[in-house]
């Protein structure tokens, strides 16, 4: 599956369904502000189904039998660092060239938030790495104790 067109299509389909989720939640909020509760609820309920659609794609992208908590954290760290170090700085430059000051400020702010997220995940990865090491050590000691019996 890796590096196939189907893999790319699953990623693209996941992106589309994820965007639909956020967009419909946002449209729900706007419809609510505009006073149409029925349409607001229609958007919000449909958003929930988009999550199910997105998850179905992810089931194939990240097959659970191949994942570990460390891998999940690593993927998340890479994504956040990509945003904070490459994506947002590039977007910020373009927005500056185009004199879109609101967008410049928003990109700067989000770059910092992505950096924060990366750091939080990095800390968790470190914490759980040492925990896993301690547990392995205990399991080994326990095994040795059992073998003596
Ligand atoms: Fe969908
Ligand atoms: Fe983030």
Question: Which has more confidence, 81 or 66?
Answer: 81
Mean pLDDT, the chain, integer: 94
* Cα–ligand 1 centroid distance for 80 (angstroms): 25
CB 72 within 8 A of CB 121: no
| Phi, psi (deg, nearest 5) at residue 4 | -95, 165
CB under 8 A, 24+ apart: contacts of 108-111:
110/83, 111/83, 111/84
Ligand nearest the Cα atom of residue 53: 1
Domain ranges, residue 84 = 68-149
Q: Which of 45, 62, 79 is the last residue of a domain?
A: 62
Tell me the CA–centroid distance for residue 96 and ligand 1, in Å.
Answer: 35
Cα 109 to middle of ligand 2, angstroms = 12
In the listed set 62, 79, 111, which residue is the last one of a domain according to the structure? Answer: 62
Q: What pLDDT is attached to residue 80? A: 98
Residues less than 5 Å from ion ligand 1, measured at CB: 17, 50, 53
Q: Examine the domain organization and report whether 24 and 74 are in the same domain.
A: no
Question: In total, how many domains does the chain have?
Answer: 2
Nearest to 26 by CA among 1, 54, 47, 57: 47
Check whether 134 has a pLDDT greater than 90. Answer: no
Span 128-145, average pLDDT = 77
Q: Give the domain-ending residue among 62, 90, 107.
A: 62
End-to-end distance of the chain based on CA atoms, in angstroms?
47
Per-residue confidence band for 46, with pLDDT thresholds at 50, 70 and 90: very high
Record the pTM.
0.81
Residues in the chain: 149
Tokens (6 digits) for 132: 């896993």
Q: What was the pLDDT predicted at 144?
A: 81
- State both tokens at 111: 């770059």
> Hey, is 62 helix, strand or coil?
coil
- What confidence tens digit (pLDDT) does each residue in 106-121 have? 999 999 999 999 999 9
**Is pLDDT at 75 greater than 90 in this prediction?**
yes
Judged by its nearest atom, the ligand closest to the C-alpha of residue 49 is 1
56 Cα to the center of ligand 1, angstroms: 10
Q: Give residue 34 CA to ligand 2 midpoint distance, Å.
A: 30
Binned at pLDDT 50, 70 and 90, residue 4 comes out as very high
Are residues 2 and 61 in contact, defined by beta-carbon separation less than 8 angstroms? no
């Amino acid at each position: 599956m890796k590096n196939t067109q189907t893999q790319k299509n699953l990623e693209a389909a996941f992106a589309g369904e994820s965007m639909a989720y956020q967009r419909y939640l946002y449209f729900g909020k706007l419809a609510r502000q505009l006073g149409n509760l029925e349409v607001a609820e229609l958007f919000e309920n449909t958003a929930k189904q988009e999550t199910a659609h997105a998850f179905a794609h992810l089931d194939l992208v990240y097959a659970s039998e191949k994942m570990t908590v460390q891998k999940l954290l690593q993927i998340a760290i890479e994504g956040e660092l990509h945003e904070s170090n490459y994506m947002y700085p590039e977007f910020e430059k373009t927005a500056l060239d185009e004199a879109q000051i609101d967008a410049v400020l928003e990109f700067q702010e989000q770059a910092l938030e992505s950096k924060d997220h990366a750091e939080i995940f990095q800390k968790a990865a470190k914490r759980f790495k040492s925990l896993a090491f301690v547990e392995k050590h205990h399991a080994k000691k326990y095994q040795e104790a059992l073998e003596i019996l």
